[in-house]
Structures are given as C-alpha cells and as structure tokens.
Amino acid sequence: MPFTGFLLFILLILPLVFLQRLLHREIQAVLIILTRNSQLTIGLFSVLFFPGIFLHELSHFLMAKLLRVRTGNFSLIPATLPNGRLQMGYVETEETDVVRDSLIGLAPLIAGSLFIAYAGLNRLGFGILMDLLANGQIELFWTAVGYLPQVNDFFLWFYLVFVVSSTMMPSESDRHAWLPLGLWTAVLFTLATFAGAGTWMLENLAPSLNDFLGTVATLFGLSVTVHVILLLPTMLLHRAVSRITGLDIKK
C-alpha cells in the first residue's frame, strides 16, 4: 500500500498519547496516596521525568537558536497552571512566522524520536526484536526478549526511553502555529493539484513522505510498547497502595 506509513503513523500516535496520559495519571495517583501532599507529588513526578523534561525544553531552546529566534526565560521548575494542568517547564521564545514557530514547537518530538531511535535500536537491541517479529520468528522473538535484561545498562536505557518518549509530545502551546501552517500547506497542495502536479507529487513526494512517516511510526510503536509494559504494574501498584492505605483519588 502506498500510504502504509501514513496509516501506521495515525494508528500509533493516538494510542501513544492516550497511554502517556493514562500512565501519568496512575503514577500521580500512587504518589499522592503515598505522600498525601500535592506539592511533594509534583516535585517527585518532576524528578522522575526530569531527563525527558530537560530534553523537551532544551530542544525548544536549541531549535529557536538554530532558526535565529530570540529566547527569554528558561525554566525546569514545575508549576500548576490556572486551568489545573501541570506545566513541567517552559522556554520563552519570540513569536515569529508560522514556519519557525511550528518547527520550534515540533522540536521535542524530533529530539525525542532521535533519542529513542538511538537508545531503543542501538543500546537496547529492539531493532533485532522488530526484525524477528516482522519475519514471523515468534519463538526466537520471545527468546530474545528473555535476554533483554542482560543487555549492558538495560534498566537505565529502558528508563530513559520511557521518560523521553513520555514527554516528547508537543504541548498545546507548542502546537499553536500548526493549524495555520497546515491550512497554508493544504492550500498549496490544492493549487499544485489543480495546476496538474498531482500525479508528479504522488510519484515523487508521496513515497518519501510515506517512508518517513513509517519510520516515525516504528518509533511510536516502540514507545507504545514501553508504556504498555509499565502500565499494568503501575495500575496494580495503585490498587495495592489504595487498598493498604484505604485512600484513593477521584478520576
């Protein structure tokens, strides 16, 4: 199929966002029950995800510098916003054109994906697992899974893949320029199609775009797998802590 990469991208990005939010809620629930202190919970949660938060904000900063956009304050101190959401950090940047604003907003996803590609495929050997699964070698796949904890610094790299993949999605403020950029792109593609370039784009641009999205979808699939692995034990821990203490939080 010519659009397999695009379809995989769409099918995997939605579960990844859902699993991120669900796992974050479960971790926060465990922390708030144990500490019974919202500020301490925010502090511990921030420490847990600090490597991912740092990479997220640093990528904004570096992309802005690369695009010659002025930056202001840089913070990694968590804060609760007026709408009740938790802001883990921020980088102030000058508002420019939609292209540069969009790239600055997209920077955490780019940096996070590159890190996951390096850590997951090179340090943890997940690329071999994917090849075995793709070739239908199920028995060898599970045998290889059993050897994963023996990889050098496996738990460190697994933790880093988790916190980076769990914090790489651009926030609502990061995405503010995406809609106008998307509209302009749609208009340009429409004009190009009416001008007779539709067939050329399908033959020359679509395959490269499809391959690129397929690669990103593979990294999303790796991130989804990591979140699924951690979700069940975290939910069980939440229930155990709630039963022992007799406390729980409202969803």
Q: Is residue 178 part of a domain?
A: yes
pLDDT at residue 238, as a whole number: 93
Percent of the chain scored above 90 by pLDDT?
29
Q: Is residue 90 part of a domain?
A: yes
Q: Is residue 59 part of a domain?
A: yes
Q: Is residue 57 part of a domain?
A: yes
- pLDDT of 58 > 90? The answer is yes
Max alpha carbon distance in the chain (Å)? 68
> Tokens for 230?
């951690």
Beta strand ranges found along 31-158 (DSSP E): 71-75, 79-80, 86-87, 90-93
The average pLDDT across 110-125 equals: 86
DSSP 188-225: HHHHHIIIIIHHHHHHHTHHHHHHHHHHHHHHHHHHHH
Instruction: Give the Cα separation of 235 and 26 in Å (integer).
Output: 6
pLDDT by residue (tens digit) across 206-229? Answer: 677 677 677 778 788 888 888 988
pLDDT by residue (tens digit) across 176-194? Answer: 777 776 676 677 667 667 7
66 touches 46 (CB < 8 A): no
Instruction: Give the Cα separation of 164 and 185 in Å (integer).
Output: 29
Burial environment of residue 122 by CB neighbours within 10 A (0 to 12, 13 to 18, 19 or more): exposed
- Binning pLDDT at 50, 70 and 90, where does residue 24 land? very high
Partnered with residue 74 across adjacent β-strands are 91
Instruction: Give the Cα separation of 16 and 167 in Å (integer).
Output: 11
Q: Is residue 1 part of a domain?
A: no
- pLDDT of 246 > 90? The answer is no
The count of domains in the chain is 1
Partnered with residue 79 across adjacent β-strands are 87
124 touches 161 (CB < 8 A): yes
Q: What are phi and psi of 3, to 5 degrees?
A: -115, 25
- pLDDT of 201 > 70? The answer is no
- Binning pLDDT at 50, 70 and 90, where does residue 91 land? confident
Residue 226 domain boundaries: 27-245
The tokens 């599970």 sit on which residue?
142
Query: Between 51 and 198, where is the model more confident?
Result: 51
Q: How many CB atoms lie within 10 A of CB 107?
A: 26
Burial environment of residue 166 by CB neighbours within 10 A (0 to 12, 13 to 18, 19 or more): buried
Q: Is residue 7 part of a domain?
A: no
Report in angstroms the alpha-carbon separations of 208 from 51, 116, 205: 32, 21, 6
Q: Could you give the 3-state DSSP secondary structure of residue 132?
A: helix
The average pLDDT across 147-152 equals: 79
Q: Is residue 13 part of a domain?
A: no
Q: Is residue 213 part of a domain?
A: yes
